Amino acid sequence: MTMLLDIIGGLLLVAGTAFLLFGGLGLVRMPDVFNRIQAGTKATTLGTLLTLAGATCLQPAWGVKLLLIGLFLLFTNPLSSQVLARAAHRSGAGKSEKTSIDRLEEDQRKKP
**Interface contacts to other proteins, rule CB under 8 A:** 19, 22-23, 25-26, 29-32, 34-35, 37-39, 41-43, 45-47, 64-65, 68, 75, 77-79, 81-82, 85-86, 89, 95-96, 98-105, 107
Instruction: Tell me how far, at minimum, the Cβ of 59 lies from other proteins, in Å.
Output: 14
Q: Which residues contact 74 (CB under 8 A, 6 or more apart)?
A: 45, 49
Spatial distance between the Cα atoms of 112 and 95, rounded to a whole number of angstroms: 24
Nearer to other proteins, 3 or 92 (CB): 92
- The candidate with the shortest Cα–Cα distance to 42, out of 87, 10, 74, is 74
Nearer to other proteins, 6 or 29 (CB): 29
Instruction: Tell me how far, at minimum, the Cβ of 71 lies from other proteins, in Å.
Output: 8
- The candidate with the shortest Cα–Cα distance to 82, out of 34, 48, 45, is 34
Nearer to other proteins, 10 or 99 (CB): 99
Instruction: Tell me how far, at minimum, the Cβ of 7 lies from other proteins, in Å.
Output: 21
Spatial distance between the Cα atoms of 35 and 7, rounded to a whole number of angstroms: 35
Question: CA-based Rg of the chain, rounded to a whole angstrom?
Answer: 19
